[in-house]
A and B are shown apart, each in its own frame.
Chain A
Amino acid sequence: MSSAPACAEAAAIGSEADLFPIRVRGLKNAFGDHVVHENLDLDVRKGEIIGVVGGSGTGKSVLMRSIIGLQIPEEGTIEVLGSEITDARDDDDIDIRCRWGILFQGGALFSTLTVAENVEVPLREFYPEITDELRHEIARYKVLLSGLPAEATGKYPSELSGGMKKRAGLARALALDPELLFLDEPTAGLDPIGAAAFDQLIRSLQQTLGLTVFLITHDLDTLYEICDRVAVIADKRVIAVGTIPELIATGHPWITSYFTGPRGRAASAASERNAALGTVADGA
């Protein structure tokens, strides 16, 4: 383990990179002739939960893959936590990958490792000096923090349900106490109760750990309940960013039909009801 990657330092407090952990400028992504993004700009503020929405096939996941360096864009620059992702190489000495956590849609757990061992993978990779004992302890409390029962730590991913896999994936994403958390459709495929509980879990973790969360979702309830701002992708770029009332005020036809359609109205009403009952604030 002599080649353990060194972890990048946090940006100075108050600097540009500190205020905006993610800055995307003039992004262009294309697969052959099919252009997915063109001239896409996006700033994510520190400490917010930003939801990214858009119709199917508008490139929400491609945007996330570009930001985390899995997709090399044709043009444009992406700055994450002060380093330019578009220049980053796998063999870079300084690595910002220890400062973010990513939850993939299906969990993407390593199928030959138990849940706790999955959580230990990033710890082993970046901090080989941590003793086995402490690493096991860290893995266990992360699993419990993610809302899994204690007996789940020694289970293999194939023994878990879909919702438990997502929680285990979240535990792995949080393994290094990241500043940035990327979530790809965290509530897709969960039952409404499970989805609401997952929303509240993300909210409370975000508040406790001071995370910045980049969240791709189709779930209107998630958008209303936990997102501080929402970015809308359409026409190959981000057409608007703001709170939901601000977005509706823009009058863009797609945004209007998205938020004021039957499902949008229902989610909005539910959110107002919850707010009136005070269930959002204390997460009960």
Chain B
Amino acid sequence: MRGTADFIVETGAEGSAALVLTGPLLVSSIGAIDHRLRAVEGPISAIDLSRAGRIDTVGAWTAWSLSQHFGAPITGASAEAERLIAAISAVDDNTASVAGHRLPMLLRVPDHVGEVVAGLGQGMLLVLGFIGQIVLASGTLLRHPGRFRLRALVHQMELMGVNALAIIGLMSFLVGIVIAQQGAVQLRQFGAEIYTVNLVGRLSMRELGILMTAIMVAGRSGSAFAAQLGTMKLTEEIDAMRTIGVSPTEALVIPRLLATMLMMPLLGIYSAAIGIIGGAALSALTLGIPFFTFLARIQEVVPLHDVWVGLIKGPVFGLIVAISGCYQGLQVKSDAEEVGTRTTAAVVMAIFIVIVLDAFFAVFFSEIGWG
């Protein structure tokens, strides 16, 4: 029953041409002939609808715009067609831009670069402002400890700390195995396989444990912070909090920040321990170093300050992950797409700064003699 729309140009007795539309003029059928209709050349003296079937607003629009184009009247329209054409013709301004406001191609690139640069500068100021807010809120909480949200803190510690144990454990175990295996291959050339213990132990404690944990927490929790706070911003939950006198920084940011700072060193040590166990397991299987001998050797070759290095870096990395997550989340303003870009930015920013800082820490600790 769908039928197909079509048209013919009929030349009358006195040489005037009429454009006759036939078949159903519906959104489902017009698409097929629109191309050819636009190619029709004038002059046309009338648009004849007397042989047309059912019609909807798309058909009415087509007939009406043809009649405007050729300056020809519409003839033979049914009552329904006339009603629709009357409704359509009431809205005759059909020139507005469909796409959003866009610059020409050549200008778009410098425009975008400018925006990024200006955004970087502004972002620095905003981050500084955000850190200021956190300091102020911490001061308030120190003066009024009763307002501190212990339940929120414990909840966040469970979400970002306890729930991450399995994945961080598995990851550290595998990394421990890889380091032991690769280290052993190289050290074997000097007959110094026993130094695998030093390699695994010191690397895990100083660097890998805390760095891998920070990356994992940035991916798991930094992104979650940004998405949670961003969505709360969109649904006006954060505005609602402000109006009833609850500071979002106190209620949302501080618990997440503290939870991350407290859990990060613990997760880092845990990760290092599992990494060492992974190395020990591999050594027992392939290098012939018994499992417990490996662990005992760790005690002898890993100086205590290596543990401190890991423990000092932990809260700092945690702070960075939490601040970038919360900051990006609270910057969300317009729509769902922004939640996505802000979440990505939170994770990228956190991992980048963590790695840069880790390099600074490495230099710093070796300078103070903790190499």
Say which residue of B62, B95, B99, B335 sits within 8 Å of A150 (CB atoms): B95
CA distance A114 to B335 in the complex (A): 13
Given A130-B34, A177-B56, A208-B87, answer yes or no on A7-B28 (Cβ-Cβ < 8 Å). Answer: yes
On chain A, the residues within 8 Å of B98 by CB distance are 114, 116-117, 120, 136, 139-140, 153-154
Q: What's the minimum C-beta distance from A119 to chain B, rounded to whole angstroms?
A: 9
B67 within 8 A of A: no
Q: Tell me the dominant secondary structure on chain A's binding face.
A: helix
In the bound complex, CA of A120 to CA of B80 (Å): 25
A107 close to chain B: CB less than 8 A: no
Q: Is the CB of A130 within 8 A of B31?
A: yes
How far is B241's CA from A5's CA once the two chains are assembled, in angstroms?
A: 46
Task: List the A residue with the shortest CB-CB distance to B89.
Answer: A141
**Is A131's CB under 8 angstroms from B35's CB?**
yes
Is the Cβ of B28 less than 8 Å from the Cβ of A209? no
Q: Are A112 and B335 in contact (CB under 8 A)?
A: yes
Give the distance in Å from the alpha carbon of A177 to the alpha carbon of B174 in the complex. 60
Contact (Cβ within 8 A) A141 B61: yes
Q: Which of B38, B58, B96 is the one whose CB lies under 8 Å from A154?
A: B96
Segment at the interface with B among A19-27, A155-163, A246-254, A276-284 = A155-163
A144 touches B93 (CB 8 A): yes
Cβ-closest chain B residue relative to A175: B27
Closest approach, in angstroms, between the C-beta of B99 and any C-beta of chain A? 6
CA distance A71 to B335 in the complex (A): 26
CA distance A281 to B47 in the complex (A): 32
Residues of A within 8 A of B87 (CB): 145, 208-209
* CB–CB A208/B84 < 8 A: yes
The reply on B22 being an interface residue by CB < 8 A is no
Which of B1, B61, B99 touches A10 (beta carbons < 8 Å)? B1
Chain A nearest CB, measured from B315 CB (Å): 38
Do the beta carbons of B58 and A138 come within 8 Å of each other? yes
Known: A9-B2, A10-B1, A129-B32. A137 touches B94 (CB 8 A): yes
Decide: B335 and A176 in contact? CB cutoff 8 A.
no
Interface: A56 (CB within 8 A)? no
From known contacts A116-B98, A127-B27, A176-B27, infer whether A157 and B35 are also in contact, taking CB-CB under 8 Å.
Answer: no
A255-281 interface with B by 8 A CB criterion = none
Q: Which of A141, A158, A210 is within 8 Å of B335, CB to CB?
A: A158
Q: Is the CB of B31 within 8 A of A141?
A: no
Query: How many A-B contacts if CB must be within 8 Å?
Result: 103
A134 & B95 in contact (Cβ 8 Å cutoff): no
A111 within 8 A of B: yes
- Give bound CA distance, A157 to B100, whole Å: 11
When chains A and B are docked, how far (Å) is the Cα of A130 from the Cα of B33? 9
Complex CA gap A145/B99 in Å reads 19
Bound-state CA distance A151–B93 (Å) is 10
A155 contacts B100, C-beta separation under 8 Å = yes
Interface size of A by CB at 8 A reads 41
A123 interface residue, CB < 8 Å from B?
yes
Cross-chain contact of A141 among B94, B97, B336, B337 (Cβ < 8 A): B94
Interface size on B, residues (CB 8 A): 36
**A127-B335 contact given A114-B100, A208-B84, CB 8 Å threshold:** no
The answer to whether the Cβ of B101 comes within 8 Å of any Cβ in the partner chain is yes
Contact status B337-A111, CB under 8 Å: yes
Given the known A-B contacts A130-B34, A134-B31, are A157 and B96 also in contact in the complex, defined by CB atoms under 8 Å? no
Contact residues of B between 9 and 36, Cβ < 8 Å to A: 26-28, 30-32, 34-35
- Assess whether B331 is interfacial by the CB under 8 Å rule: no
Tell me the complex Cα distance, A229–B104, Å: 53
Given A134-B31, A139-B98, A150-B93; A177-B26 close (CB under 8 Å): yes
Contact B38 A133 (CB under 8 A): yes
Question: Does B65 interact with chain A (Cβ within 8 Å)?
Answer: yes
Residues of A within 8 A of B27 (CB): 123, 127, 130, 138, 176-177
Please determine whether B91 and A153 come into contact, CB atoms closer than 8 angstroms: no
Known: A130-B31, A158-B335. A153 touches B96 (CB 8 A): yes
Task: Name the A residues within 8 Å of B220 (CB-CB).
Answer: none
Q: What are 20 A-to-B residue pairs whose CB atoms are below 8 Å?
A: A9-B2, A111-B335, A111-B337, A114-B98, A114-B99, A117-B98, A120-B98, A127-B27, A129-B32, A131-B34, A134-B31, A134-B62, A145-B57, A145-B88, A150-B95, A151-B96, A153-B98, A156-B334, A177-B27, A209-B87
Chain B residues with a Cβ under 8 A of chain A? 1-2, 26-28, 30-32, 34-35, 38, 56-58, 61-62, 65, 80, 83-84, 87-88, 91, 93-101, 334-337
- Residues on A lying within 8 angstroms of B by beta carbon are 7, 9-10, 98, 111-112, 114, 116-117, 120, 123, 126-127, 129-131, 133-134, 136-142, 144-145, 150-158, 176-177, 208-210
Q: Which 6 A-B pairs have the closest CB atoms?
A: A144-B91, A111-B335, A130-B31, A177-B56, A129-B31, A116-B98
